[in-house]
Amino acid sequence: MTELAIDAHDLVKTFGSLTAVDHVSISVTRGQIFGFLGPNGSGKTTTIRMLCGLLTPDSGRGTCLGFDLVKESDRIKQQVGYMTQRFSMYEDLTVRENLDFVARVYGRAHQGRVKAVCERFGLTRREGQLAGTLSGGWKQRLALAAAILPEPKLLLLDEPTAGVDPQARREFWDHIHYLALDGITVLVSTHYMDEAERCHEIAYMSYGHLIARGSVREVIQQSGLIVYSVTGPDLPDLAEALKGREGVEMVAPFGMALRVGGRQSSLIEKALSEAQTNPGQFWKKDKANLEDVFIQKMTPHDAGGDA
């Protein structure tokens, strides 16, 4: 039987009159990389923090690493490594000094791990460099090294690669997969589709509700989205003409093409025929991808309230 790192049911969190998370239930397998997607304000970070014991739900129940989310949150927090979007290390300290400080905070037993963590993340040659002079990619490595230094069982990453170049993002994710292979469960929020595709499972949140979850393939299939790729001249005019047409749930430029999606082929083709602004425009059915689904779910017809 698969062991769950997280098993939560009907979590609710409000801030004044705002319901940030509305009866969300979710389970995460140990050693899994679980990605959270959704627009800003959708409730994904609030959900992650409740799942990790960092924020107390107003109602609902569940466990994390075998501990009760409400009654044993302090025990959960002792086993969570947290990496924020904003670089949070001391920029006027060296790489080694930052890691030594973190080790002292967590106790003498972790002091011996600093050398091993530096070696694991390729930081050994940069131990004497001031953290503030590191590039974005090396800052992320340092932050990740600090997060795993106390040997957490659960790692929380809040948009960890925002503003980092593509190569550094790939290298960062290679480290994440090796950590998962070591048995560490990873919860990550991201806006990058290529990162979402590297997660074992993803969840999409909107207006405080969990509206899709599963593997990338499952989420795409569950959406029921049918996509057409349109090429030719005057595509911006066509995109404008398609707005509000029956059956059209998504219109998005992609390179030199326009991607148009909905759930009924007949309605999409009718809309394309009626909205066509140039006889040189051609369309064909294409395979839906995760970015298509993400754009579809950001459109107003999927909104369920304010968050």
Residue 39 lies in a domain: yes
Say whether both 44 and 186 belong to one domain.
yes
> What CATH number is attached to the domain comprising 280?
3.30.70.100
pLDDT tens per residue, range 134-155? 998 899 999 999 999 989 999 9
pLDDT at 161: 83
Q: Give me the domain span that covers residue 111.
A: 4-220
pLDDT at 187: 94
Say whether both 106 and 126 belong to one domain.
yes
- For residue 226, give both structure tokens: 């049918």
pLDDT at 294: 87
Say whether both 261 and 174 belong to one domain.
no
> What is the count of structural domains for the chain?
2
Say whether both 203 and 237 belong to one domain.
no
Listed range (6-10, 24-28, 164-168) with the worst mean pLDDT: 164-168
Say whether both 53 and 164 belong to one domain.
yes
Per DSSP (E only), the strands in the chain are: 4-15, 18-29, 33-37, 59-64, 67-68, 80-83, 154-158, 185-189, 201-206, 209-214, 226-231, 250-254, 257-262, 282-286
> What CATH number is attached to the domain comprising 22?
3.40.50.300
Residue 303 lies in a domain: no
Say whether both 140 and 16 belong to one domain.
yes
pLDDT at 193: 86
pLDDT tens per residue, range 11-53? 999 999 999 999 999 999 999 999 999 888 889 889 988 998 8
Residue 300 lies in a domain: no
Say whether both 170 and 143 belong to one domain.
yes
pLDDT at 14: 96
Give the pLDDT band of residue 283 (cuts 50, 70, 90): very high
> Which of 162, 189, 220 is a domain's end point?
220
> Which of 165, 198, 220 is a domain's end point?
220
Say whether both 100 and 15 belong to one domain.
yes
Say whether both 67 and 216 belong to one domain.
yes
Q: What strands lie across the sheet with 209-214, from one edge to the other?
A: 80-83, 154-158, 185-189, 33-37, 201-206, 209-214
Residue 302 lies in a domain: no
